[in-house]
Amino acid sequence: MRSEWQSALYTRQRNFFAQVYESGGLTPWPSTEPTPAVSRLSHLLKRRKGGGRVLDLGCGEGRHVLLFAKAGLFTVGLDYLAAPLRTVAQRAREKRLTPRIRLLLGDALAPPLKPDSFDALVDSGVFHHIKKADWPIYFDRVLGLVKPGGYFHLTVFSTKFKHYPGERRTRNWQVHRNHYDHFFVKRDFAQIFSDRCEILEIEEEREGLNGFFHVLMRKRPTYVRRADQGRPC
């Protein structure tokens, strides 16, 4: 039986992203320059003894995978499309960073990784494409990958994000060009994550039509994965 997160909407969403990458043109989202807030996290981790392991969830063409690897951190890039992963692999070879990088083809909601295996996790644009009904799966299978006390950096759409000038919405989500988008306000993060993570920093970015929140959190040592949600393979 197919679960809800494997619905027809997610299939169309995956096809949308596949078409963008396979077109060979520029993506409508950043693909080379790291987000400044994520760069600050890389500096923080670099200063820590041992550095640790980092997961870039939905890594795309690897701007943050390369950032962390360049900082000397072993980094896993996970994406459910092969085309962007090939780009990451090529860029890693060119920069001689391959020994510090592992690339995996897989779904964010069924990551082929062990729980509590990462010191930091970066999600730059996955969570806001997941339906609210499926958030419990994300909390278990994605946040479950972060060690207690580890860092979790989230970048999501704010309600100020516009797909086009003059766009109006009457709710905090919509399906646009076959992909699901959820839009957040600042108070949402405490309501959604405070029992799982300590919120360290919330930064709002707005430029032109773009509106994002960059949220740095730390997983609470007392947070325990829900066994009834199952385990990743």
Contact 202, 189 (CB under 8 A): yes
Q: pLDDT per residue over 1-13, tens digit each?
A: 345 545 888 999 9
Q: Is a pLDDT exceeding 70 seen at residue 61?
A: yes
According to the model, what pLDDT value does residue 24 have? 77
**212: which 2 tokens?**
């994002």
Q: Is a pLDDT exceeding 50 seen at residue 222?
A: yes
Q: Is a pLDDT exceeding 80 seen at residue 226?
A: no
Residue 33 burial by Cβ neighbours in a 10 Å radius (0-12, 13-18, 19+): exposed
- Work out the pLDDT band at 229, boundaries 50, 70, 90: very low
Q: Enter the DSSP assignment of 126.
A: S
* Cα distance between residue 154 and residue 181, in whole Å: 15
Mean pLDDT across 81-97: 97
Q: Is a pLDDT exceeding 50 seen at residue 233?
A: no
Q: Is a pLDDT exceeding 50 seen at residue 96?
A: yes
Task: Considering only residues 61 and 230, tell me which one the structure prediction assigns the higher pLDDT.
Answer: 61
Q: What is the H or E stretch that residue 151 is in?
A: strand 146-157
All structural domains of the chain with their residue ranges: 37-222
**159: which 2 tokens?**
């309600």
Q: pLDDT per residue over 11-59, tens digit each?
A: 999 999 999 998 877 777 767 789 999 999 999 999 987 668 999 999 9
The per-residue DSSP string of 16-60 comes to HHHHHHHT-S--SS-SSSPPHHHHHHHHHHHHSTT--EEEEET-T
- Choice among 6-20, 76-90, 130-144 with the minimum mean pLDDT: 6-20
* Cα distance between residue 211 and residue 227, in whole Å: 36
> What value does the mean pLDDT of the chain take?
91
According to the model, what pLDDT value does residue 225 have? 56
What's the CATH code, domain 37-222?
3.40.50.150
Contact 148, 118 (CB under 8 A): no
**86: which 2 tokens?**
């090939």
Q: pLDDT per residue over 159-203, tens digit each?
A: 999 999 999 999 999 999 899 999 999 999 999 999 999 999 999
